[in-house]
Amino acid sequence: MKKIFVSISLLAATVLYGQKKDYPIQGVNFTQVKLTDNFWLPKIKVNHQVTIPASFERCESTGRVKNFEMAATKTGKFCTIFPFDDTDIYKTIEGASFSLSLFPDKKMETYIDTLITKIGKAQEPDGYLYTPRTIDPKNPHAWSGLKRWEKERDNSHELYNAGHLYEAAVAHYYATGKKTLLNIALKNADLVCSVFGPGKLHVAPGHEIVEMGLVKLYRITGKPAYLQTAQYFIEERGHYKGYDAKSKDVWKNGAYWQDHIPVAQQTEAIGHAVRAGYLYSAVADIAALTGDQKYYNAIDKIWNNVVSKKMYVQGGTGAIPSGERYGDNYELPNTTAYNETCAAIANVYWNYRMFLLHGDSKYMDVLEKMLYNGLISGVGLDGKSFFYTNAMEIKNSFTHSAMEPSRSGWFDCSCCPTNVARLLPSVPGYVYAQKENNVFVNLFINSNTTLTVRNKPVSIIQENNYPWDGALKFTVSPKSTETFNLQIRIPGWAKNEAIPSNLYSFASAVESKPTIKVNGTAAEYNIEKGYAVLNRAWKTGDVVEVMLPMEVRKVVALDSIKNDIGKVAIQRGPLVYCAEWADNDGRAANILVPANASFETEYNAGLLNGVTVLKSKLPVIKIGENGTSISTENKTVTAIPYYAWANRGAGEMVVWFPTQIKTIDIFPREVSGGIQLK
Ligand code: FUB
Ligand code: ZN
């Protein structure tokens, strides 16, 4: 299979169009990093073997594919629920394309070809591609409006569908070298660029992603219109006609769509969390490609706001079910936490771009937090059961109707499963990055890669047992001796920092510090922007050993988060832990973790595909049989990594543990409209 690397097309764009500005740091393409590990590689294989085929199957069985067939012949009636259902096919093609680069699969490739043929036939002659209208233009989907684009600002999702089409097309082109989907995307993008812009139609897209997609098309083609239109869509925000500056209601003031004030003036993450994450990613792209300082300022401020006031301890964002949106500062309720899986994915895209802009490890710390916790919790170990929302707490009494105590194979609005399908195979692309003679090591995953440093091949082999163990080994082999900086991320959690802000902190500091050896001898290094910078003339076979202390840590929240007062969360390495009913006699909401509690670690290969569990003898609340008395008894409690919960049926789960009886919430009834768990 032909593989085309991002760097080649970037180079082409630079040479052809003289474009100079870009991210100062360049990512290392995911195809260059061959994973050999026991954590990510099995997940990515399950994604290839189970998730992607299951998603395609659901796209067929629910009528999503049929919508394209009907659009081709302009007969029938749009037969699924949402006007963005086309995107499930695009996202699965994107995931499958990434995956094909890792696991060549003729059958999957051929199937994608048949889908692309159907997509092409559904495209109107001028490039318009949107089955909810094309099937029967006189009777479009109720959200679509009678005229093209007239409801884009609201909910038609025409440009959202376009954005996912572009993302899929670019992935497919890179993976296969085929231009079939790319040509469809370019035709659509040309239409979009001809319709929207100064002196043309004005709109702030109702659901962002078209901006990121256009930037990717720009990178491939170097065509300025794509970049200009992406920038234009960002600049269109903040001119919402219904804007009511006094209203705190995100529906009335435009904030749900991040359209309340111009992006350059935005300082707070607001509104629908997935929309926000895609917007902030695109703003980073535009900041990098234009060098415009106002965009740097805006996303830096928004990032600080999220990380210091709006992020759950497992990296989740978008706390509020109504509107799937960010809450106010410090509004992070546990019983009703929404935390859409797509929001975590959008934030991975955003944090990665922030790292490429600034070269600071704090962005990768946050990315790692989301990746290992609140993102992969969205997919079951079987690869075919998903969470749309990622709960922070499930109690045996009642839970909010928006909270999911158990996973589902698909949803009417199935954005999350197909988003997971595209994110997972791209994980190898987050391991390394480069800037001139600096090689950044961001993620610790067993892998082999060959990079080009100063025009010479340098191979790096990673060997570790991460995230279970903090011992990391890197074998660095330049073809011949070469001097460069190996910059290894020293995670915040290994330096007594729970998150790069004061929102969460470790209850007590640990003495042990990360250590680094080169060829067996303690290494000299500087810390720059969170990276240990090892500068030397590297020789073939040089071995770097890093030891990251992996004590079990108690995490406390700033008192401003009312819901976490008097409670602790548990973290070890990058993993946040939870207690689940299945390991604790059917309950978890009755567990106390007093200040002096300590945990033992135990690797259990047979549990949840192999996990390190934490064990401790802890007081557990017991309610007397007559229901009029309570007492505590000491029991051995087991905590599992948060990402692995809900793989053994529905029941209680807790992330934030009360430290004393006075902070335990024995039978919360705070929410109406709940569902009864068995
Ligand atoms: O609107 C398209 C997708 O559906 C959003 O990103 C999700 O939050 C869901 O509402
Ligand atoms: Zn989603």
Q: Model confidence over 119-152: pLDDT tens digits?
A: 999 999 999 999 999 999 999 999 999 999 999 9
Catalytic residue among 415, 482, 578, 580: 415
Lowest model confidence (mean pLDDT) among 52-66, 213-227, 271-285, 659-673: 659-673
HSE-CB at 430 with a 13 A cutoff on CA atoms is: 28
451: its two tokens: 């990079």
Q: Tell me, yes or no, whether 574 and 646 share the same domain.
A: yes
Q: How confident is the model at residue 626 (pLDDT cuts 50, 70, 90)?
A: confident
Question: What is the rounded CA–CA span in Å between residue 208 and residue 278?
Answer: 6
Q: How confident is the model at residue 559 (pLDDT cuts 50, 70, 90)?
A: very high
Q: Tell me, yes or no, whether 102 and 191 share the same domain.
A: yes
Residue written as token pair 């548990």: 570
Is 350 in contact with 280 (CB distance < 8 Å)? yes
Q: How confident is the model at residue 667 (pLDDT cuts 50, 70, 90)?
A: low
Q: Tell me, yes or no, whether 526 and 630 share the same domain.
A: no
pLDDT at 666: 67
Last residue of a domain, one of 236, 271, 289: 236
Average predicted confidence (pLDDT) for the chain: 93
- The yes-or-no verdict on residue 17 having pLDDT over 90 is no
Is 324 designated active site? yes
**Residue-by-residue DSSP string for 181-227:** HHHHHHHHHHHHHHHBSTTSB----SS--HHHHHHHHHHHH--HHHH
Q: How confident is the model at residue 400 (pLDDT cuts 50, 70, 90)?
A: low
pLDDT at 627: 80
Domain CATH for 538: 2.60.420
Lowest model confidence (mean pLDDT) among 5-19, 301-315, 364-378, 508-522: 5-19
Residue written as token pair 């660029």: 193
User: Rounded to the nearest whole angstrom, what is the distance from the C-alpha of residue 407 to the centroid of ligand 2?
Assistant: 14
- The yes-or-no verdict on residue 10 having pLDDT over 70 is no
Q: Tell me, yes or no, whether 602 and 521 share the same domain.
A: no
Question: Ligand 1 test: best mutation among 82, 413, 414, 416, most atoms within 8 Å of CB?
Answer: 413
Lowest model confidence (mean pLDDT) among 293-297, 453-457, 464-468, 619-623: 619-623
Question: What is the rounded CA–CA span in Å between residue 384 and residue 417?
Answer: 8
* Alpha carbon separation from 175 to 5, 165, 462 (Å, rounded): 9, 15, 25
DSSP state of 483: E
Q: Is residue 326 part of a domain?
A: no
Q: Is residue 12 part of a domain?
A: yes
User: Rounded to the nearest whole angstrom, what is the distance from the C-alpha of residue 415 to the centroid of ligand 1?
Assistant: 6
Q: Tell me, yes or no, whether 127 and 192 share the same domain.
A: yes
Is 416 designated active site? no
pLDDT at 16: 45
Q: How confident is the model at residue 401 (pLDDT cuts 50, 70, 90)?
A: low
pLDDT at 625: 83
Which percentage of the chain shows pLDDT scores above 90?
Answer: 88
Is 591 in contact with 631 (CB distance < 8 Å)? no
Q: Tell me, yes or no, whether 664 and 539 share the same domain.
A: no
- The yes-or-no verdict on residue 12 having pLDDT over 80 is no
Q: Is residue 220 part of a domain?
A: yes
Q: To 5 degrees, how large is the angle CA 406–CA 307–CA 472?
A: 80
pLDDT tens, residue by residue, 217-257: 999 999 999 999 999 999 999 987 766 777 777 777 889 99
pLDDT at 391: 95
Q: Tell me, yes or no, whether 543 and 617 share the same domain.
A: no
Q: Tell me, yes or no, whether 522 and 596 share the same domain.
A: no
**What lines the ligand 1 site, CB under 6 Å?**
84, 207, 274, 324, 340, 342, 413, 415
Q: What is the pTM of this model?
A: 0.95
Mean pLDDT in residue range 177-197 = 98
pLDDT at 663: 77
Q: Is residue 541 part of a domain?
A: yes
Last residue of a domain, one of 194, 215, 236: 236
Q: Is residue 322 part of a domain?
A: no
Mean pLDDT in residue range 484-490 = 98
- Report the number of secondary-structure helices (H) and strands (E) in the chain: 17, 25
Q: Tell me, yes or no, whether 189 and 54 share the same domain.
A: yes
- The yes-or-no verdict on residue 19 having pLDDT over 80 is no
For residues 254 and 612, the model is more confident at 612
Total structural domains in the chain? 3
Q: Tell me, yes or no, whether 577 and 441 share the same domain.
A: no
User: Domain span at residue 104?
Assistant: 1-22+34-236
Q: Is residue 289 part of a domain?
A: no
Last residue of a domain, one of 210, 236, 262: 236
Q: Is residue 209 part of a domain?
A: yes
Ligand closest to Cα of 340 equals 2
Q: Tell me, yes or no, whether 62 and 82 share the same domain.
A: yes
Q: Is residue 449 part of a domain?
A: yes
pLDDT at 402: 65
498: its two tokens: 């729970």
Name residues with Cβ closer than 5 Å to ligand 2, which is an ion.
340, 342, 415-416
Q: Tell me, yes or no, whether 612 and 670 share the same domain.
A: yes
